[in-house]
Amino acid sequence: MTRSESALRAAAATGADLPVRLFRAMLRIRMVEEEIAARYSQEKMRCPVHLSIGQEAVPVGLSALLGPADQAVSTHRCHAHYLAKGGDLKAMLCEIMGREPGCCGGRGGSMHLFDREVGMLLSLPIVAASIPVGVGAALAMKQRGQRSVAIIYLGDASVEEGAFHESANFASLHKLPAIFVCENNLYSVYTPLDERQPRRPISELARAHGMPATEVDGNDAIAVHNAARPLLERAREGEGPGFLLAETYRWREHCGPNYDNALGYRTEAEFESWKARDPVRLLGERLAKDGMLAASRRRAMEAEIAAEIADAFAFAEAAPFPRPDSIASQLYAD
């Protein structure tokens, strides 16, 4: 039995429905992203989209440990982070379609998702730019004596930026409640990790900055949940930051709704090996096998999510665009 299989059984034994909740949250993100991909050619979404398909397990496993007082910052690939943190789906789709009820008033697009009510502080497309902001949030939490944590999502390319190292150093020195969550999907656009970084675990960088680092299967939501828990507990106790390195894989092209393996920067065999590790399918199968999710319940779940998504798309498509005479607003602080 693997570590996460035993966790699944332990959760089932205590009557907890955590694995089912994690599955539903991943399935919902997958279905939202698939729907965005399916509708993208209609050209109602006129901004770039960096889809999270294949990478659902990390934010879902982690977010089940968070409350609204905990804050998260994210990157260009932020849809799953936003939805897992409880971000409003209608506000997200309106933002992607440039509509006024979008979370940035329809001016930011897919890479600027936030929902302050649920602690989704911001998302920024400049690689590593959100990291210092997340550390700032952690500093504020510490100064206010809160037990909250700041989750800082980053891609494998972020650790090549100075901002990561300055932020990690500062967070470690001041024992800030910051959790760095690195989704290593092996690529920065078309460039593989081993053409960009020396051969050593990325987690060594965090250890060199004096914080504990844990490596985890980023396609297993339960393993992520269990691996993140002790890092979060230490951070809440004032013992300082932590680093979670999650190995995962993006299925679609870096930016856009299509598959781009034909470009040749990665092999079909590699892609297939990761597809065989589909975080949503694997957990669904395990739940069915363990009798935790009957086929009828799963079908009802899928229908419920599909209805929610259809309703949110209809809402966004009917929503107004920002008024042209508001073009100069929100550019400067009042």
Ligand X SMILES: Cc1ncc(C[n+]2csc(CCOP(=O)(O)OP(=O)(O)O)c2C)c(N)n1
Give the shortest CB-111-to-ligand X separation in angstroms. 9
Is residue 185 at the binding interface for Mg ion, with CB under 5 A as the rule?
yes
Residue whose pair of structure tokens reads 């440039």 in the numeric block: 98
Query: Closest by alpha carbon to 219, among 23, 33, 25, 56?
Result: 56
Is residue 56 at the binding interface for Mg ion, with CB under 5 A as the rule?
no
Report the residue number, 35 or 260, with the smaller CB distance to Mg ion. 260
Give the shortest CB-172-to-ligand X separation in angstroms. 21
State the number of binding residues for ligand X (CB under 6 A). Answer: 14
Residue 130, binding choice from Mg ion, ligand X, none, Cβ under 5 to 8 Å by partner class: none
What residue spans of the chain are helical by DSSP H? 3-13, 18-39, 57-63, 79-84, 89-96, 130-143, 162-173, 203-208, 221-236, 268-275, 279-289, 295-318
Contact with ligand X (CB under 6 A) among 1, 13, 189, 295: 189
Site for ligand X, residues 121 to 140, rule: CB under 6 A: 125-127
The radius of gyration computed from the CA coordinates of the chain, to the nearest angstrom, equals 19
The dihedral of CA 156, 200, 203, 245: what is its sign?
Answer: positive
Give the shortest CB-51-to-ligand X separation in angstroms. 10
Which tokens sit at 180?
């760095």
Give dist(CA 37, CA 31) in Å, integer.
10
Report the residue number, 24 or 252, with the smaller CB distance to ligand X. 252
Residue type, 53: I
Is residue 158 at the binding interface for ligand X, with CB under 6 A as the rule?
yes
Is residue 141 at the binding interface for ligand X, with CB under 6 A as the rule?
no
Residue 76, binding choice from Mg ion, ligand X, none, Cβ under 5 to 8 Å by partner class: ligand X
Contact 98, 323 (CB under 8 A): no
Is residue 167 at the binding interface for Mg ion, with CB under 5 A as the rule?
no
Give dist(CA 12, CA 271) in Å, integer.
32
Give dist(CA 230, CA 289) in Å, integer.
29
Is residue 55 at the binding interface for Mg ion, with CB under 5 A as the rule?
no
Burial class (CB in 10 A: 0-12, 13-18, 19+), 327: exposed
Residue type, 136: G
Is residue 125 at the binding interface for Mg ion, with CB under 5 A as the rule?
no
Contact with Mg ion (CB under 5 A) among 155, 218, 240, 242: 155
Report the residue number, 75 or 172, with the smaller CB distance to ligand X. 75
Residue 77, binding choice from Mg ion, ligand X, none, Cβ under 5 to 8 Å by partner class: ligand X
Report the residue number, 56 or 156, with the smaller CB distance to Mg ion. 156
Binding site residues, ligand X, CB under 6 A = 76-77, 125-127, 155-158, 185, 187-189, 254
Residues lying near Mg ion in the complex (CB under 5 A) are found at: 155-156, 185
